[in-house]
A and B are shown apart, each in its own frame.
Chain A
Amino acid sequence: MPQYMLALYDDPSGWKKLSPEEMQKAVEKYMAWGKRPYVVTGKRLAADLGKVLKGGSGKGRATDGPYSETKEVLGGIYLIEAKDYDEAVERTLDHPHLEHGTIELRQLYS
């Protein structure tokens, strides 16, 4: 079964508007989605923006993450199984993250 990667982007400042009760509800919705049988794994990314590495003449160079000009950052990824893009989209469309941010869906070559 082909695997698809969900890259979850969001604007962290948006979360601050939620009440404690709403935050709990959001966590519960994510957890419930994550327990679905076709979810292979989920990984959270560190809150820093990471590094960008670029090659140049001779030696490569690392700089701090590239996202400073955008508000949305990549917060985590999930891997799911689906037979094709249509099914992967269908399985992702009700992800609770879409209430808060965007999801980028990409197929992995096995």
Chain B
Amino acid sequence: MAPSNFASCTHNVTGAERKNVREAGADSGNDAGVLLDHLFRHQVGRVVAHLARVLGPARLDLAEESIQEAMLRALQAWPYQGIPENPGAWLFRVAHNSAIDSLRRARFLDQNSDVVLAELTRASSIASGDPSFEEQLRDDELRMIFMCCHPEIARDARVALSLKTVGGFSVREIASAFLADDAAIAQRLVRAKRQLRDRHVTLDLPDAAELDQRLDSVLETIYFIFNEGYAAHEGEDLIRRDLCFEALRLGRLLAASSLATPRVHALVAVMALQAARLPARIDEAGDLILLEDQDRDRWDQHLIALGFHHFNLSIAGDQVSEYHVQAAIAAVYTRAADLRSIDWPAILELYNQLLAISGASPVVALNRAVAVAKVHGAAEALAEIETLRGNPRLRDYYLLLAVRGHLLEELGRHEEAAECWRAALACRCSEPERRFLRRKLS
């Protein structure tokens, strides 16, 4: 059996983390009666995690309905009565009272119910900000993350369940982020909950023997959410940016727990260093700006500091994961003072490692080709890309065509380059990417 409190921090808390604890914590109001960003969304995660542990994972629906009821009541009351002194604690308490009412009304009371009701009543009256209770809540959130990302659940269902249950996203928001329709996401959630029940997935945290495998599944899910948000599929929707920051939040929650391994820190480092570039990636007209042309003053220094903090923690131990190498690549870009000082040989070496770890992934090979061009010239890079063109995983992949066009242009083969960009335009890509290609063509 796993020890009870995994959430205790095992390393020095940085200023950034202290801020995060405050944001996530019960101290969520302020004097001006303004709500913290995403308070409702984050409160859904905390309350559902806590209620699901007390009520049992079989009553996940009741946990979700209870916080929904609390938010509806806030919506009815706060516009007239003002925001309570501690809005997060208010939502927490009202959700607990709603759960207590539902339990009593539904009469599915058994011998266990007295314990459950007593625990709910106790939790609803605990002073907000109580340090040991805050720790309990972080522990509950961790349990919920591990449950939602259980290897027994299909990956797309894991992603949807995590975003809905831990992240407080709605079905419609998840659907819009993944370009799916609402019914498909709703169906995915139903399936996920059925799998939880059928396979008797519990809220237990993994013990040492299964930690690696369970953690893999969690990290993979978090990284998938981050990359979905980061990929500029359909322009820069706010909801996609929210996915990036939700993934970062989940990663940091793990990193601050005693379950953190160097791999966890490496993942947080990649996400923070890449997210730092989000503000510089799009210009005022909504057009894509390549890394090389980005205004470095617009990179988020707070996230860069956070990224390097976790990067340093990731170096402990001798394990080198995909996240380590990705973080190292992001770190090289970030450290360079300007475009000319990027250490391309170092980046190429890292891509060689990544290619080996990823089992010769064609997408990694394509990214590596860009580094090859910088170190050995466009002709050599083009030769490497030619071997990728037959790969079925890259067929109709706009980036392959865009990179090839770029290399051909550098070699002075303008006609062939233009042909590539025209072909790239015919592939699935976002509006900003499309405009970028059109600019190249004109």
Where the two chains meet, the residues of A that have a C-beta atom closer than 8 Å to any C-beta of B are 12, 15-16, 18-24, 26-28, 30-31, 34, 42-44, 47, 75-76, 78
Contact = CB atoms under 8 A, between A and B. Distances in A.
A31 B72 contact: no
A21 B246 CA distance: 13
Contacts of B173: 19, 21
A34 B40 CA distance: 20
B123 interface: no
B94 interface: no
B75 A44 contact: no
Nearest to B242: A21
Given A24-B39, A44-B81, A19 B76 contact: no
Nearest to B37: A24
B79 A27 contact: yes
The 10 A-B pairs at the shortest CB distance, nearest first, are namely A19-B170, A30-B79, A44-B80, A20-B40, A24-B40, A42-B80, A20-B168, A20-B41, A76-B80, A23-B71
Contacts of A34: 79-80
B75 A23 contact: yes
A43 B38 CA distance: 26
Interface in B38-62: 38-41, 43-44
A16 B78 CA distance: 16
Contact of B170 (A12, A20, A42, A44): A20
Given A20-B44, A23-B40, A31 B76 contact: no
A69 B41 CA distance: 34
A18 B10 CA distance: 39
Contact of B38 (A16, A21, A27, A31): A21
A24 B75 CA distance: 8
Contacts of A28: 34-35
B41 A47 contact: no
Contacts of A15: 72, 75
Contacts, number: 72
B80 A27 contact: no
B9 interface: no
B183 interface: no
A67 to B, nearest CB: 15
A31 B74 CA distance: 12
20 contacts: A12-B76, A15-B75, A16-B72, A19-B172, A20-B41, A20-B44, A21-B40, A21-B168, A21-B170, A21-B173, A23-B40, A23-B74, A26-B75, A27-B75, A34-B79, A43-B80, A44-B79, A44-B81, A75-B76, A76-B79
Given A15-B72, A31-B83, A44 B77 contact: yes
Contacts of A31: 33, 78-79, 82-83
Nearest to B43: A20
Given A18-B170, A20-B168, 20 more contacts: A15-B72, A16-B68, A20-B43, A20-B44, A20-B71, A20-B169, A21-B38, A21-B170, A23-B72, A24-B35, A24-B39, A26-B75, A27-B78, A30-B78, A42-B79, A43-B80, A44-B77, A44-B80, A44-B81, A47-B76
Interface in B3-45: 33-35, 38-41, 43-44
Contacts of B77: 44
A21 B41 contact: yes
A64 to B, nearest CB: 20
A20 B81 CA distance: 20
A27 B76 CA distance: 9
B423 to A, nearest CB: 39
Interface string B161-179: 0000000111011000000
Nearest to B82: A31
A31 B168 CA distance: 22
A20 to B, nearest CB: 4
Pick from A18, A24, A30, A47 the residue with the most CB of B within 10 Å. A24
B176 to A, nearest CB: 10
Contacts of A44: 76-77, 79-81
Nearest to B71: A23
A19 B362 CA distance: 38
Given A24-B35, A26-B75, A28-B35, A19 B80 contact: no
Contacts of B78: 27, 30-31
Contacts of B170: 18-22
A12 B43 CA distance: 22
Contacts of A19: 41, 168-170, 172-173
Interface string B143-173: 0000000000000000000000000111011
Nearest to B42: A20
B192 to A, nearest CB: 18
B159 to A, nearest CB: 17
A44 B41 CA distance: 25
A78 to B, nearest CB: 8
Contacts of A12: 72, 76
